[in-house]
Every structure is written in structure tokens, then in C-alpha cells.
Amino acid sequence: MNIEPKPASVAARAEEVDTVNRQARYAKVDRAFAVLLVIQWAAGIAAALWLSPFAWAGKEKVLHVHVWLAVLGGGGIVLLPILLAIFRPGWVVTRHVIAASQMLSSALLIHLTGGRIETHFHVFGSLAFLAFYLDWTVLITATLVVAADHFLRGIYWPESVYGIANPEWWRFLEHAGWVAFCDTWLIWGCVLGRREAKAAAMRQAEVEHLTEQEQLKSAALQMALAEMTA
């Protein structure tokens, strides 16, 4: 079956629509992450006040140094991405900074809870949230940050990431493997999502093109009728 090639104007319009929609998505997700980062910062401070003393000092609850870590360190993590989300939404650097900051927020929460395995699920939830960008490259940035964090803390302060002082040497590889498994499906979802977005943009461009052609035909017909009746 012969398929009539689409006019260059339709393809160009489809690319324009896709670009506008993609930038709107990036900006919207940037702003959503700005709110999420503030919430996580507050949650980190709360964890430092109520959970960290018990997680790190048993039954003795004191004003732990982790409170300052949550306030100052957490603030340092979220400040730049929030400013970028406000003043430069949709910028490629913004979403990669947000991806890195989101993973650092996960690292901070894991540390504040004494390496609780349950808190590690925050990493996987963060990867899922980042997939809303439909830009698989931000997942790579996030994965590199969380892998570096687990590797370095696993060497110099394993208790803060694994909850025990002497974990097996391969524990880092186990965590990285699960993150890579999650990434595989999320990246695939991003690729499929982009294909669907491009197809939707092409359909919109085709409808606009057909509508324009019909309007031109209608105008020509009305002009012809006017000339006949003149």
C-alpha cells in the first residue's frame, strides 16, 4: 500500500508542537519537584528530631548533631534545584540538578534513619518520579549519584547507609543491581512515552493541516460563487 508522504510543513509543525509540549512537561515536573524537595527537607528535619537519636544512640534521645545536618545539609541540597525550578524551568541543566538533588535527599534520609532498609525504598520512588520527565538521561544522572553515594559511604561510613558497621563487600553491587533493574523498565517507559508524544504531535499537525486546506477550499469556493453572481 502506497502511503502519501506528509508535506514538509506538517512535519515541521509536528516538531514544533512536540517541542512546546515537551518543554511544558519539563517545566511542570520541575515545579513539582521544587515542592517535593521542600517537603523532603522538612521530613528530614523531623526525622533528625525524632528518629535519628534512637537510630544512632539507642534509647537515649538527645539533640543530635544530625539535626544540624538535616537543616544545613538538607538546605544545601535543595536550594539550587528550587531556584532553578523557579527561574529556569524546563532547562536541561535544571532537571539534571534536580535528579542529583533528589538522590542526595534520599541519601540524607537513609543516613538520618541509621541506614534502615525501608528508607532505601525512597531511592526507587525517586527514580519513578524522575521518569515523569520522559527523559531517560535524568535517570542515568540519578543512578550515578546514588551509586557514588553508596560506594563512598559504604567504604568510609557503612553504618550510615547499610545500618551495620561491617557489611559484606558486595553489598554495594547488590544495591546497584536493583537500581539498574528498576532503571531498565523506567528507561523503556520513557522511550515509549516519547514515541507516543511524537505521534500525538504528528496527529495534531495533520489535523491542523487538513483544517487549513479545508478553509482554503471553502474560501476559494466562496470567491468563485461571488464572481459568478456578480
Q: Tens digits of per-residue pLDDT, 42-91? A: 988 888 887 655 544 445 555 567 677 888 888 999 999 999 999 999 99
Output the average pLDDT for the chain: 86
pLDDT value, residue 211? 87
> Which residue range forms the structural domain that includes residue 200?
8-229
Q: Give the mean model confidence (pLDDT) for residues 19-39.
A: 96
pLDDT value, residue 64? 60
SS (H, E, C) the chain: CCCCCCCHHHHHHHHHHHHHHHHHHHHHHHHHHHHHHHHHHHHHHHHHHHCHHHHHHCCCCCCCHHHHHHHHHHHHHHHHHHHHHHHCCCCHHHHHHHHHHHHHHHHHHHHHCCCCHHHHHHHHHHHHHHHHHCCHHHHHHHHHHHHHHHHHHHHHCCHHHHCCCCCCCCHHHHHHHHHHHHHHHHHHHHHHHHHHHHHHHHHHHHHHHHHHHHHHHHHHHHHHHHHHHC
Whether residue 215 lies inside any domain: the answer is yes
Whether residue 35 lies inside any domain: the answer is yes
Whether residue 75 lies inside any domain: the answer is yes
Task: Flag whether the pTM goes above 0.85.
Answer: no
Whether residue 51 lies inside any domain: the answer is yes
Res. 6: pLDDT tops 90: no
pLDDT value, residue 113? 83
Whether residue 90 lies inside any domain: the answer is yes
- Give the whole-angstrom CA distance, residue 110 versus residue 120: 6
Whether residue 53 lies inside any domain: the answer is yes
Higher pLDDT, residue 44 or 187: 187
Whether residue 3 lies inside any domain: the answer is no
- Give the whole-angstrom CA distance, residue 96 versus residue 35: 16
- Give the whole-angstrom CA distance, residue 111 versus residue 159: 8
Whether residue 152 lies inside any domain: the answer is yes
All three cell numbers of 35, joined, read: 515542592
Res. 216: pLDDT tops 70: yes
Q: Tens digits of per-residue pLDDT, 100-138? A: 999 999 999 998 887 788 888 999 999 999 999 999 999
Q: Give the mean model confidence (pLDDT) for residues 11-23.
A: 93
Q: How many separate domains does the chain show?
A: 1
